[in-house]
Protein backbone atom coordinates (compact mmCIF):
# COMPACT_ATOMS: atom_id res chain seq x y z
CA UNK A 1 0.00 0.00 0.00
CA UNK A 2 1.47 3.34 -1.07
CA UNK A 3 1.43 6.58 0.83
CA UNK A 4 3.02 9.96 1.30
CA UNK A 5 3.09 12.49 4.10
CA UNK A 6 3.80 16.15 3.61
CA UNK A 7 5.33 18.87 5.77
CA UNK A 8 4.15 22.24 4.35
CA UNK A 9 7.23 24.35 5.06
CA UNK A 10 9.33 22.16 2.78
CA UNK A 11 7.12 22.30 -0.31
CA UNK A 12 8.93 21.27 -3.47
CA UNK A 13 8.49 23.12 -6.76
CA UNK A 14 11.16 21.71 -9.08
CA UNK A 15 13.71 19.00 -8.33
CA UNK A 16 17.03 19.25 -10.17
CA UNK A 17 19.09 16.70 -8.24
CA UNK A 18 18.39 13.42 -6.44
CA UNK A 19 20.84 11.72 -4.06
CA UNK A 20 20.17 8.11 -3.09
CA UNK A 21 21.30 5.89 -0.25
CA UNK A 22 21.91 2.27 -1.32
CA UNK A 23 20.96 -0.38 1.26
CA UNK A 24 17.20 -0.55 1.78
CA UNK A 25 16.65 2.28 -0.69
CA UNK A 26 17.80 1.15 -4.12
CA UNK A 27 17.73 -2.55 -3.27
CA UNK A 28 16.82 -4.96 -0.50
CA UNK A 29 20.49 -5.48 0.34
CA UNK A 30 20.45 -5.31 4.15
CA UNK A 31 20.03 -9.12 4.56
CA UNK A 32 23.03 -9.58 2.26
CA UNK A 33 25.13 -7.21 4.36
CA UNK A 34 24.15 -8.90 7.62
CA UNK A 35 24.79 -12.42 6.34
CA UNK A 36 28.17 -11.40 4.93
CA UNK A 37 29.18 -10.00 8.31
CA UNK A 38 28.04 -13.12 10.14
CA UNK A 39 30.03 -15.40 7.84
CA UNK A 40 33.11 -13.18 7.93
CA UNK A 41 33.09 -12.82 11.71
CA UNK A 42 32.11 -16.40 12.52
CA UNK A 43 35.63 -17.89 12.63
CA UNK A 44 36.79 -15.24 15.10
CA UNK A 45 33.92 -15.24 17.61
CA UNK A 46 33.05 -17.57 20.45
CA UNK A 47 29.35 -17.10 19.81
CA UNK A 48 27.38 -15.84 16.79
CA UNK A 49 26.10 -12.28 16.57
CA UNK A 50 22.44 -11.59 15.82
CA UNK A 51 21.07 -9.65 12.89
CA UNK A 52 20.08 -6.81 15.22
CA UNK A 53 23.48 -6.64 16.88
CA UNK A 54 25.05 -6.12 13.48
CA UNK A 55 22.46 -3.59 12.31
CA UNK A 56 22.97 -1.59 15.49
CA UNK A 57 26.51 -0.83 14.29
CA UNK A 58 25.41 0.59 10.92
CA UNK A 59 26.43 4.17 10.14
CA UNK A 60 30.20 4.02 9.60
CA UNK A 61 31.75 1.61 7.06
CA UNK A 62 32.11 -2.16 7.36
CA UNK A 63 35.46 -1.77 9.07
CA UNK A 64 33.76 -0.18 12.08
CA UNK A 65 31.34 -3.10 12.44
CA UNK A 66 34.19 -5.58 12.34
CA UNK A 67 36.17 -3.59 14.92
CA UNK A 68 33.14 -3.79 17.22
CA UNK A 69 33.10 -7.59 17.26
CA UNK A 70 36.60 -8.74 16.26
CA UNK A 71 39.07 -5.88 16.82
CA UNK A 72 42.06 -8.24 16.66
CA UNK A 73 41.09 -9.57 13.22
CA UNK A 74 40.00 -6.51 11.25
CA UNK A 75 42.01 -7.07 8.06
CA UNK A 76 41.21 -10.78 7.84
CA UNK A 77 37.53 -10.28 8.60
CA UNK A 78 37.18 -7.42 6.14
CA UNK A 79 38.68 -9.53 3.35
CA UNK A 80 36.28 -12.34 4.21
CA UNK A 81 33.37 -9.90 4.30
CA UNK A 82 34.06 -8.67 0.77
CA UNK A 83 34.52 -12.24 -0.48
CA UNK A 84 31.17 -13.35 0.95
CA UNK A 85 29.48 -10.12 -0.11
CA UNK A 86 30.51 -10.53 -3.74
CA UNK A 87 29.73 -14.26 -3.80
CA UNK A 88 26.28 -13.98 -2.18
CA UNK A 89 25.15 -10.88 -4.05
CA UNK A 90 23.70 -12.63 -7.14
CA UNK A 91 21.49 -14.90 -5.04
CA UNK A 92 20.60 -12.66 -2.09
CA UNK A 93 20.25 -9.32 -3.87
CA UNK A 94 20.08 -9.86 -7.64
CA UNK A 95 17.98 -6.80 -8.51
CA UNK A 96 16.98 -3.33 -7.43
CA UNK A 97 13.54 -2.73 -6.00
CA UNK A 98 10.95 -2.93 -8.74
CA UNK A 99 10.62 0.41 -10.49
CA UNK A 100 14.02 1.82 -9.49
CA UNK A 101 15.80 1.29 -12.82
CA UNK A 102 12.96 2.80 -14.92
CA UNK A 103 12.95 5.76 -12.54
CA UNK A 104 16.72 6.27 -12.82
CA UNK A 105 16.51 6.01 -16.60
CA UNK A 106 13.72 8.55 -16.75
CA UNK A 107 15.50 10.99 -14.44
CA UNK A 108 18.71 10.70 -16.42
CA UNK A 109 16.86 11.32 -19.68
CA UNK A 110 15.36 14.46 -18.13
CA UNK A 111 18.87 15.71 -17.21
CA UNK A 112 18.22 15.39 -13.46
CA UNK A 113 21.51 15.11 -11.56
CA UNK A 114 21.95 11.79 -9.74
CA UNK A 115 24.40 10.78 -7.01
CA UNK A 116 24.98 8.25 -4.25
CA UNK A 117 25.64 9.03 -0.59
CA UNK A 118 26.06 5.90 1.50
CA UNK A 119 27.65 4.81 4.73
CA UNK A 120 29.05 1.74 2.97
CA UNK A 121 32.70 1.41 2.17
CA UNK A 122 33.78 2.15 -1.39
CA UNK A 123 34.50 -1.48 -2.32
CA UNK A 124 31.10 -2.86 -1.27
CA UNK A 125 29.28 0.14 -2.75
CA UNK A 126 30.91 -0.39 -6.14
CA UNK A 127 30.21 -4.14 -5.99
CA UNK A 128 26.52 -3.44 -5.45
CA UNK A 129 26.18 -0.72 -8.08
CA UNK A 130 27.89 -2.97 -10.65
CA UNK A 131 25.92 -6.07 -9.67
CA UNK A 132 22.64 -4.18 -9.98
CA UNK A 133 23.82 -2.57 -13.24
CA UNK A 134 23.02 0.95 -12.11
CA UNK A 135 26.51 2.43 -11.76
CA UNK A 136 26.12 4.26 -15.09
CA UNK A 137 23.36 6.49 -13.73
CA UNK A 138 25.29 8.34 -11.04
CA UNK A 139 27.58 11.34 -11.41
CA UNK A 140 29.19 10.86 -8.00
CA UNK A 141 29.45 8.12 -5.38
CA UNK A 142 30.29 9.32 -1.87
CA UNK A 143 30.98 6.54 0.64
CA UNK A 144 31.41 6.37 4.41
CA UNK A 145 34.17 6.54 7.00
CA UNK A 146 35.26 3.83 9.47
CA UNK A 147 35.45 6.44 12.22
CA UNK A 148 31.88 7.79 12.29
CA UNK A 149 28.82 8.55 10.15
CA UNK A 150 29.70 11.33 7.70
CA UNK A 151 26.61 11.65 5.51
CA UNK A 152 26.34 15.39 6.15
CA UNK A 153 29.89 15.81 4.82
CA UNK A 154 29.14 13.58 1.84
CA UNK A 155 25.99 15.53 1.01
CA UNK A 156 27.95 18.77 1.23
CA UNK A 157 30.53 17.36 -1.18
CA UNK A 158 27.88 16.50 -3.77
CA UNK A 159 26.14 19.85 -3.39
CA UNK A 160 29.43 21.65 -3.95
CA UNK A 161 30.00 19.72 -7.17
CA UNK A 162 26.47 20.45 -8.41
CA UNK A 163 27.09 24.12 -9.07
CA UNK A 164 24.00 26.21 -9.79
CA UNK A 165 21.59 23.86 -8.02
CA UNK A 166 19.99 25.12 -4.81
CA UNK A 167 19.66 22.90 -1.75
CA UNK A 168 15.87 23.11 -1.86
CA UNK A 169 16.05 21.62 -5.38
CA UNK A 170 17.80 18.47 -4.13
CA UNK A 171 16.35 15.35 -2.52
CA UNK A 172 18.17 12.86 -0.33
CA UNK A 173 16.35 9.52 -0.36
CA UNK A 174 17.19 7.04 2.38
CA UNK A 175 15.60 4.49 4.68
CA UNK A 176 17.25 5.33 8.02
CA UNK A 177 16.83 8.02 10.69
CA UNK A 178 20.42 9.11 10.04
CA UNK A 179 19.53 9.83 6.41
CA UNK A 180 16.69 12.10 7.50
CA UNK A 181 18.88 13.86 10.05
CA UNK A 182 21.67 14.46 7.53
CA UNK A 183 19.20 15.84 4.99
CA UNK A 184 17.69 18.31 7.42
CA UNK A 185 21.08 19.45 8.70
CA UNK A 186 22.25 20.12 5.15
CA UNK A 187 19.04 21.82 4.06
CA UNK A 188 18.08 19.36 1.33
CA UNK A 189 14.64 17.78 1.09
CA UNK A 190 14.45 14.65 3.26
CA UNK A 191 12.64 11.68 1.71
CA UNK A 192 12.17 8.59 3.85
CA UNK A 193 11.97 5.38 1.80
CA UNK A 194 9.79 2.78 3.52
CA UNK A 195 9.33 0.41 0.60
CA UNK A 196 11.67 -2.38 1.74
CA UNK A 197 9.89 -5.62 2.74
CA UNK A 198 9.21 -5.83 6.47
CA UNK A 199 10.42 -2.26 7.00
CA UNK A 200 10.75 -1.63 10.73
CA UNK A 201 10.98 2.10 11.44
CA UNK A 202 12.43 3.21 14.77
CA UNK A 203 9.75 4.60 17.05
CA UNK A 204 9.60 7.46 17.46
CA UNK A 205 11.67 9.15 14.76
CA UNK A 206 13.63 12.00 16.35
CA UNK A 207 13.75 13.89 13.06
CA UNK A 208 10.70 13.97 10.81
CA UNK A 209 11.22 13.65 7.04
CA UNK A 210 9.67 16.09 4.62
CA UNK A 211 8.12 13.25 2.65
CA UNK A 212 7.57 9.56 3.36
CA UNK A 213 6.85 7.02 0.63
CA UNK A 214 5.93 3.38 1.09
CA UNK A 215 6.20 2.40 -2.57
CA UNK A 216 8.64 3.14 -5.37
CA UNK A 217 5.67 3.68 -7.68
CA UNK A 218 4.23 6.48 -5.56
CA UNK A 219 7.65 8.07 -5.16
CA UNK A 220 8.31 7.90 -8.91
CA UNK A 221 4.97 9.47 -9.79
CA UNK A 222 5.53 12.32 -7.33
CA UNK A 223 9.15 12.88 -8.35
CA UNK A 224 8.50 13.02 -12.09
CA UNK A 225 5.66 15.46 -11.47
CA UNK A 226 7.99 17.70 -9.47
CA UNK A 227 11.09 17.60 -11.67
Q: What is the pLDDT of residues 145-166, one digit of tens each?
A: 999 999 999 999 999 999 999 9
pLDDT confidence of residue 80: 98
Q: What is the pLDDT of residues 81-94, one digit of tens each?
A: 999 999 999 999 99
pTM (whole model) above 0.85: yes
Q: What is the pLDDT of residues 80-126, one digit of tens each?
A: 999 999 999 999 999 999 999 999 999 999 999 999 999 999 999 99
Model confidence band, residue 206 (pLDDT cutoffs 50, 70, 90): confident
Model confidence band, residue 8 (pLDDT cutoffs 50, 70, 90): very low
Spell out the residues 6+ positions from residue 28 whose beta carbon is closer than 8 angstroms to its own: 93, 97, 196, 197
Pair 72, 111: CB distance under 8 Å: no
Amino acid sequence: MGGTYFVPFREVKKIKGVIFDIDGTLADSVPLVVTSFQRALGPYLKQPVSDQQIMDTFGPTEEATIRTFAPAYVEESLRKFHTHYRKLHPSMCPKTFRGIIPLLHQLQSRKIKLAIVTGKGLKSALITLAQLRIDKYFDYVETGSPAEPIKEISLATVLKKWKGIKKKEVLYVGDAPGDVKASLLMGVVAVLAKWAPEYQPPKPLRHQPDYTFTSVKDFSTWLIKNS
